Each structure stands twice: as structure tokens, then as C-alpha cells.
Structure 1
Amino acid sequence: MQLNGYGGPEVLELREVRLGAVPEGEVRIATIAAPVNRADVEIRRGHWPVQRADPFPYTPGLEVLGEVVQTGPGVHWPPVGQRVITMMQRLGGVHGERPGCYATHVTVRAESVAAVPAELDPYAVAAVGLAGVTAYEGLRRLEIRPGHTVVVHGASGGVGSVAVRMAEAMGAEVIGTSSRSPAERSLLDELGPRSVDGVLETLGERTFADSVAVLRRGGRLCLVGALTGPELGLSAWDLIQELVLTGYSTENLTGDDLREDIAMICGWLRDGTLTPPPYQVVPLAEAARAHRLLEAGGHSGRVLLVP
């Protein structure tokens, strides 16, 4: 699936592309599921232009789960037949260094993939996918302990919905907020100052000041998104409460990070500690419809493209 210019969903076109030999140190994956992300939509619209002098034709897609069908010279792992997942690491996205994952086959560096146990439902793992890795990496930075109270913003969205489940699995009491419309009362009015141990911030501008204000002394906030805008403000009186304010982006994801995160996520899925978010399966040829679903809003969970 490619686009030759920015525009509406109709610019996504299904095309046949000849596959070359698999380069040294790389593997070719036959796609089982390629989740659709908000970033894919923003790139297609031209809101987040591809950072290449000549970006087209461009294949979108930041993540894929599938089975290794070919390996290049020098690859000792993963073997042919191994089910794997990969994401980010200059795959698709604004960098456009490699064709993305809206394809029947995706070729990546062997070191960039993580194993997925064959006994797990591949759609369930894909539905957690990038959203789950983002959520997990953000929550790790909150240093959650059993009994902690944690706010998760955007709890009905892709990252937020998975983060709620993960934080509960870590033993936290979770307070979720919605990204769809401003609350009648602010978070600070609702919870009061110095009332929570951690905040996973996905919204940014609209909620950041209150998110900081509700943190207890020594509390932690991790920003993993800024859906409502990048301009952040806070009170100096809040900051002197010895808070830890940090952030995380999967732009910094490494293969080692991915393998560690996916092992934890798959373990939770296997024992039922974590349940996947709801998902909808859409044929790859109907990627435009998948984008319309995200653009229309009101869709809960993930959209998975399948060949």
C-alpha cells in the first residue's frame, strides 16, 4: 500500500512491488497484522511530512507482526518460521528510511525484531503492539508500586486503554480520563492537590499543569504524547515538591528494549493478567477505510490491517 502524495484516505493505493534479495543481517516477514496508528494518518495528511527530499512513493506503517519467511546472509536469529513483531526503529514513519508495514511482506534488520510465542493469538499481541510498548515504557518511568494511585490520561485511546490494564497489573489504583472532550471539572478540582503518586500524560497542553499539581511530594509524571498541544505550563510551587517530570518516545526504541517489553507483555497476555484492547480487522486493500475509521473518531481500540 503506497501513496504518491499527501491528501485524504483516497491517496492510499494498493500496488504490486517486486521483492529483491534479502540484504545481509536482515529478515523478511510475511505480515499477519499491521496495526494502524494515528501517526500514519497525520503523515498521509501531510501534517507530519516525511523527512526525505524525495519521499514518494511512500509505504506507511510503523509496526507489524508476522512470520519470518527469509533471512539474509549472516543472520543466526530469528530462524525461518519464527513469529516476530517489530516496530519503529526508522521503519515507515516521518523518517521514511525504510518502507513501512502496510504490505504483505516487510524487510527489517534482524536485530530489530522480538519473538512472539506461537501459542498466543497474533491479533491480540498486535492489538497491544506499539501502544503497549509506549504504555509500558511510560509506566516503568513512574516506578509504580502496589497501592500507588496513578492517573492515566486518554484512557479510552490506544495507549491509554492498554496503560490502564498494565497499571492495574502492577498493583496500582488507576484513575482514567478521556481525551475526547474537556471535563466539566478540572483534574485538580476533581482530585485535589498532592493526591496521586503518578501520572501518565498523553494529552499535554490541556492537562499538564493539573497533572503536575495533583502529584504528591516525590511523585512522578511521564509524558508519552501531547494530543491537545505541545505548549506546557506549571507552577513553580508544584515543582519544588521534589517531583520527577520526564518523558518517553518510541523514536528511541531499540531492539533490546523491544525484546524485553514484548517478553513482559506476552507473559501478561499468556497468564491473563493483561487483556488486549478491542480491535477491528480490516483487509490491507481497504487501508483507506481503516484511516477513515480513525479520522471519524469514536473508535475504541485498535485497527489491524491484514493481507
Structure 2
Amino acid sequence: MKTMALSEYGPDSPFALTELPKPTASAGQVIVRVQATSINTIDTMIRNMGTDLGFAPAAPAVLGMDFAGTIEEVGEGVSGFAVGDEVYGCAGGLADLQGALAEYMPADARLIAKKPQSLSMREAAAIPLVGITAYEGLKRAGVGKGQKVLVHGGSGGVGHIGVQLARSLGAEVYATDSGDERLSVVRDLGAEPIDFKAETVEDYVAKHTGGTGFDAVLDTVGAGNLTNSFNAVALNGHVATTLALAELDLSPAHLKGASLHVVFMLIPMLHDKDRADHGTILAELAKLVDSGALKPVVDEPRFVLEEVGAAYDRLASGKAIGKVIVDV
């Protein structure tokens, strides 16, 4: 089968067209004919840092976690799926799990779900990693009806899904971003946009919460921005973040009695722990999509498999609006 693989790691390492044997389904797996995959920040981190991360695949490395495609083979012990089913998921591209930058991909059946019927393959491939991440963050933060929720990075991959999921849970949603186009996306998704370059945290907390703070904050920027989240959250509120790789003074969180939830959605893939939870979440997300409550934002430029290097560059440029997709 045709793949785009890395023979070595590093920011400038090229993806090369590589022929590898077509996989066969082991027990508990399906073989998917991949039709689209999306690029996530963690994919670029694996390419750039390689073995320093501790979970990069061995060379030749086939990356790509998210996918949408059609089942071509069903392994022993798999129920609920059949040949010909259109599915989506986040099931490879790290450790010993082959990724989606290939014509065919083996996937643990617990990590996938049937594709939303109302979406194209391109659109469906945009959802899995960011959708699961946003879902887990909001659930851990206890987001519910009537709450005021702040999403940092509202037009980003996790952020734009988080805005919509928070609204579907009945929350009143606000989201930070910058630039007219991104702020317009935030508004179109149903959140009150906040230009973080024009307003201080104190300003928008006073303006939108009367100074009491937001009930929950979904911080998709993380690291140093967590201090802004602690300053924005209400007493006894919740902050969920996708990026806590930083040394921080937790005093602002302590003085508010705030809870910090760190979401690392790769744990089920890396440690084979609670993998079925991801399949269940994806099925729930598909229902929300088909009900009209959730719609992925897909970046406009189109890339085919042989152009995956350009797709990675597009994401790294910071110019993408929504998810960068590669057609396979």
C-alpha cells in the first residue's frame, strides 16, 4: 500500500512516498480504507521531536491520528461494525499504532465509531482528536445549563468544538481570539467573542460576569495562559486545559479554590486504558453533528496524500482557520 512516511525525525524531515505491506486485521481490529485525515498539533510535535517525546513510532514512521474511511476487513471478536461501514476515529500515528497517512490503516474497534451521516469524509476526519479532547475537558469541568463558560482559542481545533459542545450543554459561552476573521468564526459558532489583544482579563471578567468570574474555563492555549484562566475563573470554579507542560505559580488557583483538569486524550491509545470510552464519545459526537448542534470548521486549502508536508506547514504557519485536512 502507498504511505507517506518519515525515515527520520526533525522539523525539516521530509515525508516520502513509501510502499509498505497492506495490514491485516488482528483480533479486535478493523482495516479501514482511509479517505481523509486531519493534522493536529500533536502530529507536528511528533514529527519535530521524535523519540524525545517517548511515544513516536519507529521508522519508517506513518503518522496521522485522525481518520475517516470505509471498513474493508473486520477482525475476530469485533461486533457492531461490518465491511462497508463508514467510520471515523483517532486510532494511530504513535507508539506501535500505524497512522492514517496511508491507503489502509488497522484500527482498534474500540477507538472508532460510525461516521456522522451528514458529514463528508473530509469533515468527519476533522473531529476525532479535538472532539474527544473538548468533550472530556467540558465533562470534567462539570459544564451544564446556565453556566458561563470561557473558551480560550475559540477558533482553534479544540476550541471551536468546545464552543459548540458547551452551547449544547446549555452554557452561555464566551471565547477569546484575535483578528477579525477568527473573531467572526467565534461569533458564528455561537459564542461572544473576546479580543484578548484589546481587553485585559480583568476587563472582560468585569464586563461579562460582573467581576465574579466564569464558572468554567476551557483553556486550549495552556502553558503560560493558564494564569489568565486562573484569573478568569470564579471561586470554586473549574479550569480544564489541553496543555499543562509548564512551571506555574498556582497561587491564583489556590486562592480561588479552583480545580485544574489536565486532558491528555492519548492515554487510551498509549496505555490501552478505557479505549471503549473514546468510541462511545465519538458516537455521541456523531449524534450531535447529525442533530445540527455540532459542525467542524475545515481550513480552506486542500491537500492530497503526497502533499502532506505542505499540510503540516500550513498548520505550523498559524494561518489555518479550523482543521487542516489531507485527502488520501
Q: Return the TM-score normalized by structure 1.
A: 0.88
**Larger deviation, residues 116-125 vs 281-290:** 116-125
State the SS of the aligned residue for 2:19: coil
Asked if 1:286 is matched to 2:301, the reply is no
In 1, Cα distance between the equivalents of 2:155 and 2:137? 17
1:81-230 equivalences under 5 Å are: 81-88=84-91, 91-93=92-94, 96-178=95-177, 183-192=197-206, 193-226=211-244, 230=246
**Larger deviation, residues 22-31 vs 50-59:** 50-59
Check whether the contact 2:66–2:90 (CA below 8 A) recurs between aligned residues. Answer: yes
* Partner in structure 2 of residue 233 of structure 1: 249
Alignment-mate amino acid for residue 201 of structure 2: L
In 1, Cα distance between the equivalents of 2:70 and 2:130? 21
Check whether the contact 1:128–1:277 (CA below 8 A) recurs between aligned residues. Answer: no
Aligned in 2, Cα 1:25/1:146: closer, same or farther, shift over 3 Å? closer
Work out which of the residue numbers 255, 258, 282 in structure 2 matches 1:262.
Answer: 282
Q: Deviations over 1:1-52 (max 9, x none)?
A: 1010123456101112122433233211001211111111122122664637
* Partner in structure 1 of residue 33 of structure 2: 30
State the SS of the aligned residue for 1:256: helix
Which structure 1 residue ranges, 5 or more long, are not aligned? none
Check whether the contact 2:117–2:290 (CA below 8 A) recurs between aligned residues. Answer: no
In 2, Cα distance between the equivalents of 1:145 and 1:132? 17
Alignment-mate amino acid for residue 260 of structure 1: T
* Partner in structure 2 of residue 4 of structure 1: 7
Alignment-mate amino acid for residue 257 of structure 1: D
How big is the shift at 1:219?
1.2
Aligned in 2, Cα 1:247/1:20: closer, same or farther, shift over 3 Å? closer
How big is the shift at 1:78?
1.6
Which structure 2 residue ranges, 5 or more long, are not aligned? 180-194, 269-273
How many residue pairs get matched?
A: 300
Aligned in 2, Cα 1:67/1:53: closer, same or farther, shift over 3 Å? closer
How big is the shift at 1:204?
2.3
Alignment-mate amino acid for residue 156 of structure 2: G
How big is the shift at 1:297?
1.4
Identity rate of aligned residues, in percent?
Answer: 28
**Larger deviation, residues 74-83 vs 115-124:** 115-124
Aligned in 2, Cα 1:203/1:233: closer, same or farther, shift over 3 Å? farther
In 1, Cα distance between the equivalents of 2:170 and 2:33? 37
In 1, Cα distance between the equivalents of 2:101 and 2:309? 11
Alignment-mate amino acid for residue 296 of structure 2: P
Q: Deviations over 1:184-215 (max 9, x none)?
A: 54323431453211101122233222312322
Aligned in 2, Cα 1:76/1:172: closer, same or farther, shift over 3 Å? closer
Q: CA RMSD in A?
A: 2.5
**Larger deviation, residues 239-248 vs 178-187:** 178-187
* Partner in structure 2 of residue 247 of structure 1: 262
Alignment-mate amino acid for residue 36 of structure 2: A
Aligned in 2, Cα 1:62/1:24: closer, same or farther, shift over 3 Å? same
**Larger deviation, residues 205-214 vs 57-66:** 205-214
In 1, Cα distance between the equivalents of 2:19 and 2:135? 36
How big is the shift at 1:100?
1.1
| Structure with greater helix percent | 2
Alignment-mate amino acid for residue 232 of structure 1: L
Aligned in 2, Cα 1:282/1:9: closer, same or farther, shift over 3 Å? farther
State the SS of the aligned residue for 1:13: strand
Check whether the contact 2:58–2:96 (CA below 8 A) recurs between aligned residues. Answer: no
State the SS of the aligned residue for 2:101: coil
Check whether the contact 2:9–2:49 (CA below 8 A) recurs between aligned residues. Answer: yes
